[in-house]
Amino acid sequence: MKTMNTLMKKLAVISLIVFTAMVAIPLQAQFMARNAVVSPEVLQDQKVTFRLYAPEANKVAISGEWMPGFGEQLPLVKNDTGLWVVTAGPLKPEFYTYNFIVDGIRMTDPSNAQVVRDGTRYANSLIVPGEASDLYKVKDVPHGSLTKVWYNSPTLNMKRRMYVYTPAGYEGGTQKYPVLYLLHGGGGDEDAWTTLGRAVVIMDNLIAQGKASPMIVVMPNGNANQSATLGDAPDAAVATIAPGSPSAGQFETSVVKDMIPFMEANYRVITDKNSRAVAGLSMGGGQTFNIGLKNTDKFAWIGIFSTGMFGGVQGYGNYDPEKQIPGLLTNSASFNNALRLFYISCGEQDPRFEYTQKAITTFKNNKLIVATAAFPGAHQWSVWRLSLADFASRLFK
Amino acid sequence: MKTMNTLMKKLAVISLIVFTAMVAIPLQAQFMARNAVVSPEVLQDQKVTFRLYAPEANKVAISGEWMPGFGEQLPLVKNDTGLWVVTAGPLKPEFYTYNFIVDGIRMTDPSNAQVVRDGTRYANSLIVPGEASDLYKVKDVPHGSLTKVWYNSPTLNMKRRMYVYTPAGYEGGTQKYPVLYLLHGGGGDEDAWTTLGRAVVIMDNLIAQGKASPMIVVMPNGNANQSATLGDAPDAAVATIAPGSPSAGQFETSVVKDMIPFMEANYRVITDKNSRAVAGLSMGGGQTFNIGLKNTDKFAWIGIFSTGMFGGVQGYGNYDPEKQIPGLLTNSASFNNALRLFYISCGEQDPRFEYTQKAITTFKNNKLIVATAAFPGAHQWSVWRLSLADFASRLFK
């Protein structure tokens, strides 16, 4: 028996050596070739060339955020060296994400080290330069800090993690700052605004250009059942609790009861309501609606980006603004007096757009003062980045 | 001409629609199937099953950190539903990284949201649980904060970014803390210790277990020509300057002249040398050798992990300790008096190991007090995580 085991082990070792020898050279070649491949290459005319060295692949395509639909793909063409190439565009200046699809598998571009996570999916990013994307480029300006910090949430009965942006000059200074609480959407977590949303870059640039007041931006995890993003928490719970579920409302309460006290105890923040804003996208827009309008003694600035609560999403749209926020329509003057800014934005191609327009009309018919913005795009990050830049530029002035 | 263009545009649109219709259904199917795939699945016996849904792929293999060599691969086997499967192991408890190789292309596992960056490459991670990997698991313990902060480096004539870990209790407290400056290796940047190195998790756990003193850990970018990791800096310079180049030594100077003053001005740190340590891996080990031993008035604790400066790497090994650090051998007593800990570790299968042993022998023969550690493994992160845990547990006591 022992001899048998020994023989089998020897065979296994020999197989491994043979197998290793077989794969070692192609892998090395691939590694060398990959390192020489430039992808993406942004050309002068805003066209972008994508390349993948994949001599063994049968089919390579690219799926990019500039394409109208998620399922769309543009095929790459293989040359006789095994390099697959396609040139897309011209593309409008923007921060885009994209993936390669190699023999049916969605993957990242190995030549592009810029990778962002969208929930559980990973994609590459690229910037097509121009006026419209200038705000998303890291520039040689004073940079703020980003801290991943844990705070206690008695409301949700857990320690939870959030990201805190402090503007350049915070370290070593004595000044107190206003605070924007900035909420992500469904499927996202506390990481989303700083990666897909480029919130740090946007805030650094807006502040450096004098377009936004220096402010602290708090980006919590908006999934009430999740203490931190997957892998950064012992429970590692997948976010399952959306608005409408039994836990809905608890996160909203925790912003007021847990986060504001934490920020006031640990950061140099101005504590009056005129120096406190809340904004969010999609799911976070609905949360913001409730957090902001139910706490007008705490927040004077409210920003709702691409919410589905007004309609346009299956299962939503039956909201009753007066029931949800008593007085919102019947006593709109009290809200107008309490708020410095009630802001609603949406992408013009978002299915939520027409319902948002209807809600805005209702609000305006009831003399509720609303600032509105519409941006080209569907339910997507390009709209939310523009919303953040627009909203943040109006705050605390 | 105009008609021609219009016709071509129409044809292009039609092609796009046809193409989209062709790919939309398979993509959807793939997307659905992918979400149902569990990979990796760690089994009870420490075997791990990996799965990839790839009906169109011709060849799928896995390359994992538990395999002896970088080029090694283990093939997955396709079943009749298009799912590729392999079970590896049993694997020793550890934090591992791995990639799939699909038709020759190295990619991440789309079912595993845990992804780490190693220089410009991305890999998935997984933890095989057990005593040896317990320190790398996020636990329900008090968590420290991690801040990405920019500081001014007059020495390198640029604003630079670093990561600062502050232990649980730092926020809202008044206590001052000792500081460990922790340096990455060649090809890495300021992100490496917190991702591949799991430094935050290790420090949280060691401190919670009472094995390490609460401390601040500063993780700078050790590439003297790079202000921050790729994509987070306007220059986005690829790190090109290694020790031995004209700029070598400038980074080392900047630690003492730029970082220590920044930390003392902006964080609650204890400022005497007995509360200051420096450690680094590989390239960072060489930097540490110079930073620590040339500044024994600033650092009482020095940790060198897997340095190539003693030999074992092409082009290195001609170092002369006495020339580099005058008195190190001829006046070792002064170093013994100045230092609380001079620590050297290396992986037992690292080509640097035998040269490290020789250097240690030289040091000991000259009565220089050295604490040494050897860990199973080659030039790899498993050794550096163990080195950090071991070194950090000895500090500030």
Residues making up chain B, counted from first to last: 397
Under the banding of pLDDT at 50, 70 and 90, the label for residue A238 is low
Task: Judge: B105–A139 Cβ closer than 8 Å, yes or no.
Answer: no
Residue B70: predicted pLDDT? 66
- Looking at every residue in chain B, the average pLDDT score rounds to 89
How far is the alpha carbon of A211 from chain B, nearest alpha carbon, in Å?
20
- Of the candidates A20, A105, A117, which has its C-beta nearest B69's C-beta? A20
Cross-chain residue pair A73–B146, CB shorter than 8 Å: no
Residue B129 confidence (pLDDT): 95
Collect all residues of chain B within an 8 Å Cβ-Cβ radius of residue A73: 19-20, 23, 27
Q: How close B336 gets to chain A, by Cα (Å)?
A: 36
B279–chain A nearest CA distance, Å: 23
Mean pLDDT of A175-200: 96
Nearest CA in chain B to A113: B120
* Bond prior to A90 in cis (omega within 30° of 0): yes
pLDDT digits 0-9 by tens, A326-375: 999 999 999 999 999 999 999 999 999 999 999 999 999 999 999 999 99
Q: What is the pLDDT of residue A71?
A: 74
- How large is the average pLDDT for residues A149-156? 95
pLDDT confidence of residue B31: 45
Average pLDDT over residues A302-326: 88
Do the Cβ atoms of B230 and A139 come within 8 Å?
Answer: no
Say whether A265 and B172 touch across the interface (CB within 8 A).
yes
Task: Please report which confidence band the pLDDT of residue B14 belongs to, taking 50, 70 and 90 as the band edges.
Answer: very low
Q: What is the pLDDT of residues A202-225, one digit of tens each?
A: 999 999 999 999 999 999 999 988
Q: Which residue has the tokens 């957090």?
A: A291
Dihedral sign computed on CA atoms, order B195, A113, B235, A91: negative
What is the C-alpha to C-alpha distance for residues A3 and A26, in angstroms, rounded to an integer?
36
Distance in Å from the first CA to the final CA of chain A: 83
Quote the CA–CA distance of B385 and B229 in Å, as a whole number.
21
How far is the alpha carbon of A49 from chain B, nearest alpha carbon, in Å? 18
Quote the pLDDT of residue A314: 76
Q: Determine the Cα–Cα distance for residues B34 and B43; give it in Å rounded to an integer.
A: 20
Contact A74, A61 (CB under 8 A): yes
* Residue among B171, B235, B262, B269 with most chain A CBs within 10 A, to mutate: B171
Residue of B nearest to A18 (CA): B72
Query: Residues B126-182: pLDDT tens digits?
Result: 999 999 999 999 999 999 999 999 999 999 999 999 999 999 999 989 999 999 999
Local structure of residue B257 (DSSP, 8 states): I
Say whether pLDDT at B360 is over 70: yes
The predicted-structure confidence for B39-66, as pLDDT tens digits, reads as follows 999 999 999 999 999 999 999 999 999 9
Task: Name the residue of chain A whose CA is nearest to B198's CA.
Answer: A232
Residue A380 has pLDDT above 70, yes or no: yes
User: In the structure, what pLDDT confidence band is assigned to residue A316 with cuts at 50, 70 and 90?
Assistant: low
**In this predicted structure, what is the pLDDT of residue B319?**
79
Q: In terms of CA atoms, which chain B residue is nearest residue A55?
A: B104
Structure-token pair, residue B162? 């670093």
Q: Which helix (H) or strand (E) is B17 found in, with range? A: helix B2-36
> What per-residue confidence (pLDDT) applies to B290?
95
CB contact under 8 A, A231 and B138: yes
At B264-317, the pLDDT tens digits run 999 999 999 999 999 999 999 999 999 999 999 999 999 999 999 999 887 666
Identify the closest residue of chain A to B174 by CA–CA distance.
A266
Quote the pLDDT of residue B161: 96
- Who has greater pLDDT, B232 or B84? B84
Higher pLDDT, B27 or B347: B347
Predicted local distance difference test score (pLDDT) of residue A29: 45
Q: Say whether pLDDT at A295 is over 90.
A: yes
User: How is B260-308 classified by DSSP, letter by letter?
Assistant: HHHHHHHS-B--SGGGEEEEEETHHHHHHHHHHHT-TTT-SEEEEES-S
Contact call for B148 and A145, based on CB within 8 A? yes
Across residues B335-353, what is the average pLDDT? Answer: 97
**Which band of pLDDT confidence, cut at 50, 70 and 90, is reported for residue A268?**
very high
**Residue B7: Cβ-neighbour burial (10 angstroms; 0-12, 13-18, 19+):** exposed
Which residue is associated with the tokens 């420290």? B144
CB contact under 8 A, A149 and B145: yes
Query: Highest mean pLDDT: which of A24-38, A236-250, A264-278, B226-240?
Result: A264-278
Q: Give contacts of B69 with chain A, Cβ < 8 Å.
A: 20, 24
Q: On the CB side of B167, how many CA atoms lie within 13 Å of its CA?
A: 23
pLDDT band at A236 (very low <50, low <70, confident <90, very high): low
Q: Taking CA atoms, what residue in A is nearest to B138?
A: A234
H-only helix segments in chain A: 2-36, 192-195, 199-208, 250-254, 260-266, 283-293, 321-324, 332-338, 353-365, 381-394
CB pairs under 8 A between A and B: 173
Asked if residue A216 lies in contact with residue A164, where contact means CB atoms within 8 angstroms, the answer is yes
Q: Enter the pTM of the model.
A: 0.89
- Chain A residues in contact with B110 (beta carbon < 8 A): 105-107, 121
What is the model's pLDDT at position A184? 97
Query: Would you list the DSSP string of B189-234?
Result: -TTHHHHTS-HHHHHHHHHHTTSS---EEEEE---TT-SSSTTSSS
Mean pLDDT of A131-137: 96
Which among A124, A134, A171 is the top mutation candidate for probing chain B, defined by the most B β-carbons within 10 Å of its own β-carbon?
A171
Q: Do A56 and B104 touch (CB under 8 A)?
A: yes
> Are A231 and B23 an interchain contact pair (Cβ–Cβ within 8 Å)?
no
What residues in B contact A57, CB-CB < 8 Å? 103-105
Whether A241 contacts A221, CB under 8 Å = no
B234-276 pLDDT tens trace: 765 555 444 445 456 899 999 999 999 999 999 999 999 999 9
Interface-testing mutation among A34, A67, A148, A216, with chain B (most B C-beta atoms within 10 A): A148
Q: How confident is the model at residue B233 (pLDDT cuts 50, 70, 90)?
A: confident
Nearest to A316 by CA among A288, A291, A345, A351: A351
CA–CA dist B24, A72 (Å, integer)? 7
Q: Are A303 and A326 in contact (CB under 8 A)?
A: no
| pLDDT tens-digit readout, A26-41 | 444 444 444 589 999 9
pLDDT of residue A234: 79
Picking from B120, B147, B159, the nearest residue to A145 by CB comes out as: B147
Worst-scoring range by mean pLDDT, A4-18, A270-284, A296-310? A4-18
Judged by average pLDDT, the poorest of A87-91, A96-100, B29-33 is B29-33
Q: Are B203 and B177 in contact (CB under 8 A)?
A: no
Chain B residues in contact with A159 by the CB 8 A cut-off are 140, 142-143
CB atoms A121 and B106 under 8 Å:
no
Q: How near does any CA of chain B get to the CA of A21, in Å? A: 9
Q: What is the pLDDT of residue B26?
A: 43
Of A75, A103, A120, the CB nearest to B54: A103
Q: When comparing pLDDT for A29 and A116, which is higher?
A: A116
How far is Cα B261 from Cα A196, in angstroms, rounded to an integer? 34
ipTM: 0.88
**Chain A residues inside the 8 Å CB shell of B208:** none
Distance of CA B217 to the CA centre of its chain: 14
| Mutation target vs A (from B143, B201, B269; most A CBs, 10 A cutoff) | B143
User: What's the average model confidence in pLDDT over B368-390?
Assistant: 97
Quick check: A357 and A350 in contact, CB under 8 A?
A: no
